[in-house]
């Protein structure tokens, strides 16, 4: 089922579930989900606050699960089973270097980096980042990240609606003018060919 169909069918629960699953490593298009949700908000299907909360909570719950897996089960288990959802040892190593250097900053801003976002909770757990600190950074980050893409979706929908209206308004006249111009050009060329042919025969 397409993301838009999932969102349309399951509403806030669908948004929550997609964001949760994406954040524990199951490949769902999070930014696309949020952008489409912004479309639906613009159309009156969703209200902003419940939409923002369902998206942020889905991400927060998924991140908390990832943190718990990293904290209690550790790196070997993540590497062993994470490969089934694209979490490889190489990706974990690359992200771990960034996390070791920046920690809180990575948790706060890392959601905007698609390749790192899913790994951050696991790394926070593996590196024993204090849970309260992780939770605060994670919650703030989830709200800002989700809100940003929802608003982007809203304004993309506004721009598309305007473009669509303009296109429909001017498309038919443009086609008619183009056909007339092409017809005139073709008629002139045919007339010139006949004139040249007649002159050569005479």
Alpha-carbon distances, residue 10 vs 14, 18, 46, 116, 151 (angstroms) = 5, 11, 12, 28, 21
Q: What is the pLDDT along the chain (202 residues), one digit of tens a residue?
A: 577 788 888 899 999 999 999 988 887 888 889 988 998 998 889 999 999 999 999 999 999 999 999 899 878 877 777 776 667 778 777 777 777 777 788 888 888 887 778 888 988 898 889 999 999 999 999 999 999 999 988 887 655 555 445 444 555 566 666 777 787 877 777 877 777 766 666 5
Q: Which two tokens stand for residue 89?
A: 């040892």
Q: What is the pTM of this model?
A: 0.72
Q: Identify the sign of the CA torsion 48, 104, 113, 75.
A: negative
Q: Which two tokens stand for residue 98?
A: 């960034």
SS3 category, 106: helix
């Amino acid at each position: 089922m397409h993301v838009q169909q999932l969102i349309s069918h399951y509403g806030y629960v669908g948004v929550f579930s997609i964001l949760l699953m994406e954040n524990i490593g199951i490949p769902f298009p999070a930014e696309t989900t949020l952008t489409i949700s912004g479309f639906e908000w613009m159309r009156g299907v969703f209200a902003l606050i419940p939409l923002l909360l369902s998206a942020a909570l889905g991400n927060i719950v998924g991140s908390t699960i990832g943190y718990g897996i990293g904290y209690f089960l550790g790196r070997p288990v993540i590497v062993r089973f994470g490969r089934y959802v694209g979490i490889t040892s190489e990706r974990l190593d690359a992200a771990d270097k960034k996390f070791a250097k920046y920690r809180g900053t990575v948790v706060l801003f890392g959601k905007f980096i698609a390749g790192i976002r899913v790994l951050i909770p696991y790394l926070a757990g593996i590196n024993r980042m204090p849970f309260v600190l992780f939770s605060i950074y994670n919650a703030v980050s989830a709200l800002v990240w989700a809100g940003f893409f929802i608003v982007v979706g809203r304004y993309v929908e506004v721009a598309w609606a305007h473009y669509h209206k303009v296109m429909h308004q001017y498309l038919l006249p443009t086609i008619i003018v183009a056909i007339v111009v092409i017809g005139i050009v073709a008629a002139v060329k045919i007339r010139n060919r006949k004139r040249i042919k007649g002159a050569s025969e005479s």
